[in-house]
Structure formats: structure tokens, C-alpha cells
Amino acid sequence: MPPGQPGAPPKRRNNTTVLVGALVGVAALIGIGIVVTRDDGSKGATSTSTTRTTLVGSTLPGSTSSYPEGTLDPSTLGAGEVLLEPVNAPMAEPFTPTAGSGNEAAPSISLPELPLPTTTATMPVGQVALPQIAGNQPGLYGGTRNAAACDPQAMINYLEQNPDKAAAWAGVQGITVSEIREYIEGLTPVVLTRDTRVTNHGFRNGQAFAHPSVLQAGHAVLVDRWGVPRAKCSCGNPLTPPVPLTTPPTYVGPQWPGFTTTTIIVIIAIDPVDEGFILIDLTSGDMIVRPVGADPDTPDLATGDVRVTLRWSDAADLDLAVTDPMGETVSYDNASVSSGGALDVDANANCNEAQPAPAENIVWGDTAPDGLYTIVVDLYSSCTAGDSHAFELTALVGGVPVQLYLGGEDGALTPTGNGGTVSSGTSTLLFAFAVGDTSVLPTTPGGDPGGDPGTGTDAWEDASLTILDQLLLDCGVFVEFTSMGEVEGGWRWIASNEGGDADFTVMDPTGNWYVQPNNQLAADMAVSCGFYQP
């Protein structure tokens, strides 16, 4: 399996007071992929790569291939030659029969721009470095919503029935034969949107043979968690990253319309994809999310500035509803609101056509309003799935998961993970999250000081400590607290670190609270952290 890749996910929005890559520019691209240009010296001459085209009945000029016309035969490649592989061109000696679904075609929609890295490295005359793009880059790949262009199970079944090919296939990927099923089921079917340089592998004389190739945009491939192509669907061939050439390449084989060496890319592993690949829908041009893995029963989802997704794993009808900061609610019976929120997927509705991996999804495609969002997860019906139903709930802002808060029956908000369970005993759960410069604060039951524990001084002390601790932690300030007891209207705390003792009072901690600094160090901390203005 590919090794883990370090790094943190990119962030679009900095929620500085919410409590609780993407593309990577690579400076030196020499050796990964180099093309050669030439100028014939005539007026108006343009730079073109060194190429030659296929002969009828064979891939390369002068070859003795006996394969049918149009078949790509990489076994005839010479030193320094890179094979051009158009969509729908059959390969000689493939690993498996086609695992593709339908004819492949170069994308015909307008593609999102990908900011390409530049290099300042000195290159020999006539050589151009190929841009490297991180495999997790949103919009790098395409797909047709809920219609996979590849059948990974067909590939798995064929390899399991042909042990010689299975051994060679596994060897290319550095896994054992027994790991093939798990490995391929962890790959994700996507469509290339750019001409992509890879190392392809055919099967010849009982073993895999590697050859450098450029796959035309439109090829269906399987990619790993880092977005690196690992299998070509039309022939089952295993793919690996390109190997640096020792000489400038010569591109051989049939050129497709629009082919140019200046648009070839190399896909590299930077950060793993956890929340799903963000693809461009090749029919609509919209952005969609495809979950990691090759499970055809998991639906693709729309995405946007804000996305709330509910997933579970049985036939029950669970419902998702999200209320925006203006008080409008998106749900199964109100599919859109004026702020741009819309219901994208409503699974297992009324217990009909239960899905193996159901999901409900609500999105704000464009910029969502800042403020507090509340989520309701409701058990509409257990259908035939028993009484208890575990679920996973995720809220993403700018593609980045944000902290969820669980609402209690008493109105308290408590930081929580992204899971939960509904049943006949607890059929509805409420959650909250924030977008932009908005605070979501853990709260405790209210009450007047001096009452019973949980509604009086204990509640004031607990609530004030939670508020102050979370405010400082969110700002990256770590302190030790000393309680100074109840004061008129609030609770006083000393927050100590190497900088000294900051004196704070949290006023009305179980109501419309605010924090009052009592000395200069406390004021400096509060201003720096953004929760106090003198």
C-alpha cells in the first residue's frame, strides 16, 4: 500500500471565534517528465515536440506487430519513447478484459482552471518540465454522477480467476495476491480531465512489463487515497507514477486532436483524501463529491461552500434538516431556501427502494451566510431495520470539517464528534455549527445563583470556566485556572501562564454572557484573541 503522506488539509475559511494540497507548487520538476521542442528557424515557426505517428496495423513505425489495426503495442517502444494512448484504443496483451463502462470520450465541458506550479530551475535548451499536480486537487478529475465509468469488481473477479496475472498485477503495486481485493476496493473510479503521464504495465510472457505512456483526457482510471492513478479501467493494467527518463522523450503513437506536450501533467501524492474526491460532473459542469473507495452503492453528492451530510447503513428512513442563520430550514418538505441552501439527496424516503449505503445531503453551493446553523437528525421510520440506527454526520465549510455541538433537552450545547444514534426512545437529535466570525459556545442549564447544584452556583462556575477556557484555547493560549469565586453578576477567574496572572470575570455565564478583563494582562489577552474590545 502507498505510504502515508504528511500534511494538513487546506482551509478556505478561518473561523477564528468558532469554539470548540490542494495544489502544491513543486519547484524542481526536472526528470519527472521532460519534453523536447524544436524550431526550424523559419519565420513564424512554433515549438513542437518530437513525435511520430502510428502505422496501420501497428503502433510504431517499422514494428512487426501482428495485432489488429489501431491496437497499441507498447512492446515495440524504443529507448526514450513515450507511448500516446488515445481513449478507446485497444491495448495489446492487457491484464484483463475491459472493466470500463461504455465508451470513453475526452471531456467536452468547460473545465475548472487548475493553478499550475512554475519552476525556476535551469533547463537544457529545448526541454520543458511537466507540471506536477497534487492528486487531491479539487476539479482535477471528472465523473458522471452516480454512473461510474469503471467496474472494479469485474477487474477483481478476473484477477482472482487468473493467478498468473494476479501475481504480476500485485507485484507492480507492491502488495500480495491476497490483498488485491481489498486494495482495488479501496480505489476510486474517476475520469482523467487532462492528458496525464504515467507508467503503464502490460502482461507479456507471464510477467508485467512497464512502459512510459501519456493517457488522453477521458480515460477512466482507479486512483488511490492520494489521487494517484493505479489502474486503467479499459484494460485492467496497473499504473504507477512516471519514471524519470535519462534522455528527452520522443512521443510515439496516434496523436489526438488538441494534443500538445505543453498540457501534459504528472499527478503526485501530497495529502490523502478523507472527505471524498471533488470531481467535475462531465455532463453538467457542477462539482460533485465521490466518496473514497469503489463501492458503487455509495451515492455521489453535490458540494459547495457549506455541505452537511448524513450517512447510515441500514434500510431506515432518517431525515436531515438544516436551519440557516436567517431561520429558514432546508428539509425533505422544503427543498430550498433563499440563502441558497438546497436538499441534494433524500435517501430511503418512505421506506422505498432502500439503499445499501444511504445518505442525505444539504448544500449551499455559493457563499453561505455567516452565522449559526442548526441540524436536526430525525428517525422518520425504522422501516424493516430494527429499532436502533447509528449514523455519521459531517458539516464542512470550504471543504473542511468543522466542530459540531450536540444540543441537550435543556438547551445546553456540548462539543461532540460526528456520530450518533436514533431510536424509538430518542428519535430526534439536534446539532449546531458555525460559519464565519460566529461563536458556538458550550452552555449549561441556567438558573439563579444559590440554587440547587446544576442550576445555581455550580452551574455558574462550570459555565464560566468552560467559556473562558474555550475562548483561550481557540486562540492558542494555554493557562492554569484558579477560581476566585462568585462576584456580583458573574464568576471570577485567574488565568496563569509564563506571562503572568490574567484576571477575568465571566458575567452572566449561563445567560447572555460576556467576559470582563480585570487587569492589563487579561485585557491584552482578550483583545489579542478577539473577544473583547476596550
- Bridge partner list, 310: 360, 393
CA 376/CA 207 separation, integer angstroms: 55
Q: Give the mean pLDDT of 291-298.
A: 76
CATH number, span 304-435:
2.60.60
pLDDT at 38 over 60: no
pLDDT at 40 over 50: no
The residue among 29 and 398 whose pLDDT is bigger is 398
Q: Can you spell out the DSSP letters for 217-280?
A: TT-EEEE-TT--EEEETTT--BEEPPPPPSS--EEESPPPTT--GGG-BEEE--S---S-EEEE
Whether 456 contacts 427, CB under 8 Å:
no
Burial of 448 (0-12, 13-18, 19+ CB in 10 A): exposed
pLDDT at 35 over 60: no
Model confidence at 230, in pLDDT bands (50, 70, 90)?
A: very high
Model confidence at 297, in pLDDT bands (50, 70, 90)?
A: low
| Per-residue pLDDT, 446 | 37
pLDDT at 174 over 70: yes
Q: Give the mean pLDDT of 88-110.
A: 82
pLDDT digits over 143-165, tens only?
887 666 788 899 999 999 999 99
pLDDT digits over 304-330, tens only?
899 999 999 899 999 999 999 888 999
CA 212/CA 82 separation, integer angstroms: 5
Q: Domain ranges for the chain, please list them.
A: 46-268, 304-435, 457-529
Query: 153: alpha, beta or left, given left = phi > 0 and alpha = psi -120 to 50?
Result: alpha
| Per-residue pLDDT, 188 | 92
| Per-residue pLDDT, 118 | 53
What pTM was computed for the model? 0.63
Q: Can you spell out the DSSP letters for 416-479?
A: E-SEEEE-SSS-EEEEEEEESS-----------TTSSTTTSHHHHHHHHHHHHHHHHHHTT---
Nearest Cα to 109, choosing from 232, 218, 258, 197? 218
Q: How many CB atoms lie within 10 A of CB 336?
A: 12
The residue among 172 and 459 whose pLDDT is bigger is 172
- Residues, the chain: 534
Query: 447: alpha, beta or left, given left = phi > 0 and alpha = psi -120 to 50?
Result: left
pLDDT digits over 434-455, tens only?
898 766 655 543 333 333 333 4
| Per-residue pLDDT, 422 | 93
pLDDT digits over 377-405, tens only?
999 999 988 899 999 999 999 888 888 99
Q: Give the mean pLDDT of 495-512.
A: 88
